[in-house]
Every structure is written in structure tokens, then in C-alpha cells.
Structure 1
Amino acid sequence: MDSSQSKGSDIARMIWIVGAPVIFAVGTFGNIMTMIVLSRKRNKPSSTSVFLSAKALFDIVVMVIMLPRWWIIYLTGIDIRHINNFVCKFQFFVNYFSGSIGSFLLAAVTIERAICTAKPYLVKNICTVNIAVIISIALALTACVIHGHMFFGMKLYEVTYKETSETISFPLDSNEKSTNTCEFILDQYFDTKIDPAGEFRFKDYASALNSTTEECIDDLFVKIETNEKLTATKTIKVCWYDDPGYGQYFSGMHQILLAIIFTTILTIFFVGGLIIIKGLQKSRKLRKSMTNTNRQTSGNKPAFDDQARQITVSILFVNALFVLMGIPALIYLNGISAWIDEDTGMTEIQEIMWAVVNMLAYAKHAINFILYFLSGQRFRSQVKETFGCFKNPSAERSKSMPVNRLVSVASSYDLSLKKKPLTE
């Protein structure tokens, strides 16, 4: 949606001016912290950490490149898309690319977590760091291919149109007008403005006029042609497509492709979520049934350790909120042609709605860190360690343990494995 469709609602302006910096601060800080925590040396690299780190990186791109645009528009009246033609194309591309790659990576990590629950013995062979890196790169390239046409189809150009500074009015008082005069008819039914094409819209008014309609219309044109204020022109910049052929593709096949992708991702979220939930329930039952003794003597182990379980729960929350917070903006964008006038732009209510659904859409890229922190005890501990306000007790014991004590502990185990291992 181009900035020229904005009317300047005070409420919408406040939502953008206040809400955007808050989301920017929370999202930028949270995603940077996510990358730091997941890349710590004491964390063993995993396919999950690769996908989540990649998503955090692209979420930072959203915070830095996408979010500030409307904030700047409402704060200064300047649209960064109107800086030059490249910025127009690039910003438009990143808008669609960032939304796609985020959902792609969440779908990938959902599949990975589902495999960990359903087929845990395949994790070491399939869910590796190298494979995760390759998949992440492939998904990014796929998103580039899907939306790369915007570099060729979108452009920055100028539009000049006639602008009306005031509505048609007549000096006669309504009590002095006869219902059979043109002045009365025009005052009642032709209170209108010139549209961008320079033509007049009578809509359904003509059907309400009497037999003097034709004479009244002629009189209206005479009055307007002699009024210089009603024939002023205005030039604005627009970042959009001007090729009708590309417009048909962008509004047709491209939107259908996005709908198919969105449906596929929703299916992955739903089916993968069911598999994960079932696996979590099975793991919980298994942990309850196992005692300390049979954990050492039996060959069966829980399907998840605590860290994997916490990460899996976090992914479920992220997926659910990613969909719920993104759907309002999707519905709004798909319904633009139905309820927003292309000539006059958004009404004040529609502009407020646009601000609200955008805040939700951007917030879904900013809250991942909060969800990881709330749903994962291990993640919280590592965040605290990163800030130096919490130290791992086991690590401290290892540091403070004398060397001779470490040797004594090590000698208590049969390091030569001559005895039968306890896990067999």
C-alpha cells in the first residue's frame, strides 16, 4: 500500500509514532539476544539453532528496513520508497521477502521438531547442522525467486491529476430555492469533487433528478469551468506498477501463488503441531514411568531431553502467534479492492485499522525472544549467564573442584570399558 492512500488520522498517527519505536526496540534487542544465546560456545550446534538463528537474522531485517517506513511517513511526511527508483524496488521486495522467509523457516523447524518426536533415531542422520544450513540457504533463494520479479515490475513514477479544493456550492439559501430549479437540484445531488482522472462522478444521483437533469448538468459544467480553484493540478510520487500486463500477474498469479504457499505452511504447522503434541505426551508418560534405576539399566530413553522439550514447546507458541498475528493484515490487504476507494484512499477508520493490523504483523517478528524466554528454563538461564547475573552451579563446582578430587572421581569409572557398560 502506497503512502498516498493515507489521509492522516490523528489516532493512526499516534499508533505508528508510539508503537513502532517500542516494537523496534523490543524486536531488535530480542532477536540479537536470540542469536547470541543460540551461538554460545557451550551450546552444541544443532539444526534447530540454525533455523532459529536464521529467522532472528531476517526478523532484524524487518525491524531495520520495513518497520521504520510508516513511522517516518507519519513523523515527517516522507516516504522512503520515494527516495529513488532502486529504494522503491528494494523496499517493496524486502516487504514480501521477509514475510515469506520467516514462515519458510518456521515451517522447516516445525518439520525438524516433528521428526525428532516421531522418528528420534533419524535425528543424527537427517537433522544435522550442515543440512539445516543448506535448507536455510535454499529457502532464502526460493523466496528471492518468488518475489524477485518486483525489481522489474515495480517502479517509482509521478502522477499528475486535477485536484478539487472545495465542493460545488451555491449562494442561494435552501428556503429561497424552488424544487424545480437547477440550483436546488445541483446543491442536493451534485455535492462532489473532481476525481484524479479529471471527470465528474454522478454515481446514482442522476436517477433522483427530474426532467431538468440535462440542463442542470450543462449548468454545472459552466460553473466549474469558470472556477479556477476547482481545476488545480497536483503531482505526487507513486511506488507501484504502471504496466497493465505486470499488474495482471501481480494481482493474479502472484497472489494465487502466495495463497497456495500460505495454505501449505498452515498445513505444516497444523500437522506438525499434532505430531509434536503427541510426542510430548508420549515423552511425559515415559518419563513418569521410568525410575532412576531403569534409566541406567534399560536401553529405552525418553524421546526428549529437557532442552529439546522446551525448544519444541517454544516452537509451538511461535507458530500459533505467527499465524494469529499475521492473519488480520492478510485479510485487510486482500480486501483492499472491496472496501477502499482507489481515488480517495482510506477513510479515518480504515487508516486506524491499517495501523493496528500492521502493529500486530510487525510484533510477530519481535516477540520470539520473549516466547523462548518464557517457555524455556534453559534458555532463561543462558540469557542470565550472558548478562553475567547467573552462573551455572555445575560449572562452578567443576571450577572449584581440586585437581586431585577430579582424578579421584575419574578413577572411580572403568575408563578402559573392560566392565560391562551400565547402559547395555
Structure 2
Amino acid sequence: MIYTETTIAKGLWTYCAPLIIILGTIGNTLSLIVLTRKNMRKITSSIYLSVLAVVDTTVLYTGLLRHWIRHIYDIDIRSITPGGCKFHLFFIYFSVHHSAWILVAVTFERLVAVYIPHKARIYCSSFIAFITVCLISFVLLFINLHFFWTSGIKINDLGIPECDIVGNRYKNFDMYTWPLIDACIASFIPFIIMFTSNVLIIIKVRKLTSTNESKMTSMTAMLLTVNFVFIICTSPIVLYYNFKTTWYPDDEESTIAKADLHDAICNLFVYTNNSINFLLYCLSGPKFRRELRRMLWRKGNQIDPQSNIQNQTDVETAPAQ
């Protein structure tokens, strides 16, 4: 018997996944181009967001594309070869973790810029951003290296090769330790840091605005928007994985069908977060929109004087953003 939930879940993976991949590819590419333009590079947050565009695209092609191929062609690219199994598991976890922690880094940078603007030129420099990105990459690389010796191809009960943790010595690690580590790195800790930082930034900006000392800058508005969308899009899957056994306690086919639908919706929410930052930048970032217009509509070498003046103003105030 084929349940309605199973049909809906397959339809979501089949039709929504390619749309998200296309949207994310175009959006992240445009974001990277705009954020690496001369005027945008002078704002250090653009460094983090440029890396985020690359990492988010990697997440879409290592994670979501695999799900789409699996549901369309019934082929799991992760389970074709032992080497592919190891590399795919490593890259998908590494890129998902990297995406979350790049947002943490840029959030903390904005927090520093808002609360101690007189120190922003020291603590929010391009050099600090580069070192931070390298440090995050190194730490996450070390955390996820275990896949190269804990994972491999094994034959399941149906006689089908599948990519999984191999060896009884890693069984407890796979069932209990790693899910907790993954949840903390990908969701819990970034969620807490970003939520707390956003609240503190909003409080500070509102306080300064009420005293006419400052106003929310373009980059800070963009950051808050991206952060809150991250929280909204990742919250469902955090709740699902933590309460899955409570909500779906048995192995009945109807229960499994409901769990599969829930899983599809939650995962697509997460991948949507990796694909829509360009739209969020356009909606919440006046400077980003100006730079995008200049890139798309500038004829030859002619520069809009008014836009250029505004860009100079933005750059001068960048450390205090």
C-alpha cells in the first residue's frame, strides 16, 4: 500500500529539489560576484558572506542533489564506491557545519562592530576575517576527518550496498556520540550564539537610534535578516531529529510514511536556507542592491556619480557598521 504521505514526500524531493538547486546556484553566484566587487570588499563582512556563498552552493550539490538523484533514479551516489562514500560524507558534513559557523563568525563581527565601534578597525579587519575563516575550516576539517576511517560500504539486510559506519568498534560512536556532536555543531550552538547576538545587536541599535547616535547600517540589517531566516529554516529539523522517536515511536508503514514526509519538509527547509541568501541581501541590503544595479546596468566605464558618492560614504562608515 502506498500512503499519501509517501507520494507527497517523493513529489517534494522530485520537483522542489531541482528548483532549490537552480535558485541557489544562480543566487549564490550573483552574491559572490557582487560581494567581491571593489566597493563591497572594503567591508569585512563581505569576506564572510562570499565564503558563505561558496559553501552554500557546495551544500546544495553534495546534499540536495544526492537526494534528488536518489528519488529520481533510485541510485545513491554515496554508495557506489568506498572512496565516494568517505568523501561524500566528509564534504556534506563539513560544508553544512562550515555554513553555520561562517554565519556565527559574521554575527560576532557585527556584534563587536556595534558594541565597540572604536575598536572595529582592529577587530573587524580583513586579516582577522581571513584568519577566522581559516581557523573555522581547520577545526571543522579535524572534527569531520573520522569519516575517512569510520565509514565505508556494507551490505544491508536487503542485500543492497549502502554507505554507513563500518565496524562494531564505531557502532556506539555512530549511534550516540556523533549525532550529538553533529547536532551541537550544526544547529544548537550556532542557534544559541546567533539568537543571543541578534537580540543584543537589536537592543543596542534601538538604544542608539533613540538617542540619535546611530542607525542600523545596511550590512547589519542584512546580517540580522540572514540570521533569523537561518533560525527559522533550521529549527524544524532540530525539533524533528530530537523528537522523532517520540512522534513516530513504532515501525508501522503508516508511521514511517508520516516520518518520511516530515523528514522531506524539514530537509527542504534547510536547503532552502542555503539557496535564498541572494534574495535576502536584495531585500534587506540597500548597498548590495546599489552594487548589483551598478554591475547590471552600467554602460561601459560610466559610473553613476550619485551611486559612487554613496559608496564612498558607506566605505567610510564601514568599520562602525
TM-score class, shorter: 0.7 to 0.9
Cα 1:236–1:258 shift into 2, 3 Å: closer
Aligned to 1:329: 237
- Does 1:250 find its partner at 2:174? yes
**CA displacement at 1:259 relative to structure 2:** 4.4
Cα 1:260–1:10 shift into 2, 3 Å: closer
| Equivalent position amino acid for 1:100 in 2 | H
Quick one: which of 263, 267, 289 aligns to 1:380? 289
**CA displacement at 1:78 relative to structure 2:** 0.8
Say if 2:5 and 2:261, in contact at 8 Å, map to a contact too: no
Aligned to 1:354: 263
Which consecutive residues of structure 2, in runs of 5 or more, have no partner in the other structure? 310-321
Aligned to 1:407: none
Structure 2 residue matching 1:366: 3-state secondary structure: coil
Structural mapping, 1:7-406, within 5 Å = 9-159=6-156, 161=157, 234-261=158-185, 262-287=187-212, 302-303=213-214, 309-336=217-244, 339=248, 347-388=256-297, 393-394=304-305
Taking the aligned partners of 2:182 and 2:258, their CA distance within structure 1 comes to 28
Over residues 172-213 of structure 1, what are the superposed CA-to-partner deviations in whole Å (9 max), with x where a residue is unaligned?
xxxxxxxxxxxxxxxxxxxxxxxxxxxxxxxxxxxxxxxxxx
Greater fraction of residues in helix: 2
Structure 2 residue matching 1:157: 3-state secondary structure: strand
Cα 1:259–1:65 shift into 2, 3 Å: closer
**CA displacement at 1:329 relative to structure 2:** 1.8
More displaced 10-residue stretch of structure 1: 245-254 or 56-65: 245-254
Say if 1:118 and 1:275, in contact at 8 Å, map to a contact too: no
More displaced 10-residue stretch of structure 1: 76-85 or 262-271: 262-271
Which protein has greater RCO, CA pairs closer than 8 Å, 6+ apart? 2
What's the TM-score once normalised by structure 1's chain length?
0.65
| Equivalent position amino acid for 2:189 in 1 | T
Taking the aligned partners of 2:116 and 2:275, their CA distance within structure 1 comes to 32
Taking the aligned partners of 1:249 and 1:345, their CA distance within structure 2 comes to 30
More displaced 10-residue stretch of structure 1: 117-126 or 234-243: 234-243
Taking the aligned partners of 2:92 and 2:162, their CA distance within structure 1 comes to 16
Taking the aligned partners of 1:397 and 1:345, their CA distance within structure 2 comes to 61
Cα 1:32–1:397 shift into 2, 3 Å: closer
**CA displacement at 1:396 relative to structure 2:** 8.1
Say if 1:97 and 1:147, in contact at 8 Å, map to a contact too: yes
Say if 1:117 and 1:275, in contact at 8 Å, map to a contact too: no
Say if 2:102 and 2:133, in contact at 8 Å, map to a contact too: yes
What's the TM-score once normalised by structure 2's chain length?
0.85
Over residues 320-371 of structure 1, what are the superposed CA-to-partner deviations in whole Å (9 max), with x where a residue is unaligned?
1212211222233344555366797972222222211111010011111111
Aligned to 1:402: none
Cα 1:283–1:34 shift into 2, 3 Å: farther
| Equivalent position amino acid for 1:264 in 2 | I
Structure 2 residue matching 1:42: 3-state secondary structure: helix
Say if 1:30 and 1:366, in contact at 8 Å, map to a contact too: yes
Taking the aligned partners of 1:37 and 1:157, their CA distance within structure 2 comes to 45
More displaced 10-residue stretch of structure 1: 248-257 or 131-140: 248-257
**CA displacement at 1:45 relative to structure 2:** 2.4
Taking the aligned partners of 2:20 and 2:205, their CA distance within structure 1 comes to 32
Aligned residues with identical type, % of pairs: 27
Aligned to 1:420: none
Structure 1 residue matching 2:38: 3-state secondary structure: coil
Over residues 296-334 of structure 1, what are the superposed CA-to-partner deviations in whole Å (9 max), with x where a residue is unaligned?
xxxxxx546x7xx12111211211121221122223334
Cα 1:396–1:75 shift into 2, 3 Å: closer
- What CA RMSD, in Å, does the superposition of the two structures yield over aligned residues? 2.7
More displaced 10-residue stretch of structure 1: 127-136 or 250-259: 250-259
Cα 1:247–1:397 shift into 2, 3 Å: closer
Structure 2 residue matching 1:67: 3-state secondary structure: helix
Taking the aligned partners of 2:75 and 2:32, their CA distance within structure 1 comes to 33
More displaced 10-residue stretch of structure 1: 265-274 or 374-383: 265-274
Taking the aligned partners of 2:307 and 2:104, their CA distance within structure 1 comes to 38
Structure 1 residue matching 2:159: 3-state secondary structure: strand
More displaced 10-residue stretch of structure 1: 7-16 or 311-320: 7-16
Taking the aligned partners of 1:255 and 1:73, their CA distance within structure 2 comes to 23
Cα 1:396–1:342 shift into 2, 3 Å: closer
| Equivalent position amino acid for 2:145 in 1 | G
Say if 2:290 and 2:307, in contact at 8 Å, map to a contact too: no
